[in-house]
Amino acid sequence: MRKDGKRRTARRLRSKLTPPAPRPSGGGGADAQLDALNLQLPPPPQPVGVYQSLVLIGKLAYASGHGPLRLDGTLITGRVGLDLDLATGKAAARQAGLTILATLRQALGSLEKVERVIKILGMVNCTPEFQEHPQVINGCSELFAQIWGPDNGVGARSAVGMNSLPSNIAVEIEAIFLLK
């Protein structure tokens, strides 16, 4: 392929990417952003197996896989591409992100102690034909970009499809954060 063809392809790919939602104006840190967005965190989940929800090592925080826990303690369940559409899957990923924030806030006392997002692994419970995994996990990535800004809220990421997830949850997301 010619060089100019490669540039056109890269431009087309970039134009398809949805930029992270901007942070609301008015400044403030991560906790203020959460309030400005009028978001409520669900109750931090308790481990249901032999693991810890969050492990702190030095300046790193490792969040175990979190599901989309609602405010009432129920989970968003179903397979994307069968029971759920793309928009509902994306909303489930955003809810999983809120659940991770609840765990961080409980462990750290404040989201202000997070410097940046390092890595997200998003797993989508979906049909074999479904191929929009990155768009689903954007629900979490866009949330974190709103909380910590486009520089510190967007890290490396993987988004994959799974044949099933525990309790038939729609998504499971784990993350690594750098602490201040």
What is the pLDDT averaged over residues 78-87? 98
Q: What share of the chain is helix, strand, coil (3-state, %, to 5)?
A: 40, 25, 35
Residue 116, CA distances (Å) to 123, 142, 164, 175 in order: 21, 14, 30, 11
Q: Residue 160: is its pLDDT beyond 90?
A: yes
Q: Tell me the pTM.
A: 0.85
Domains (range + CATH), the chain: 27-41+55-179 (3.30.1330.40)
pLDDT at 9: 37
For residues 178 and 113, is the Cβ–Cβ distance under 8 A? no
pLDDT at 27: 54
Residue 61, φ and ψ in degrees, nearest 5: -120, 120
Q: Give the tens place of pLDDT for each residue, 28-58.
A: 799 999 999 999 999 999 998 999 999 999 9
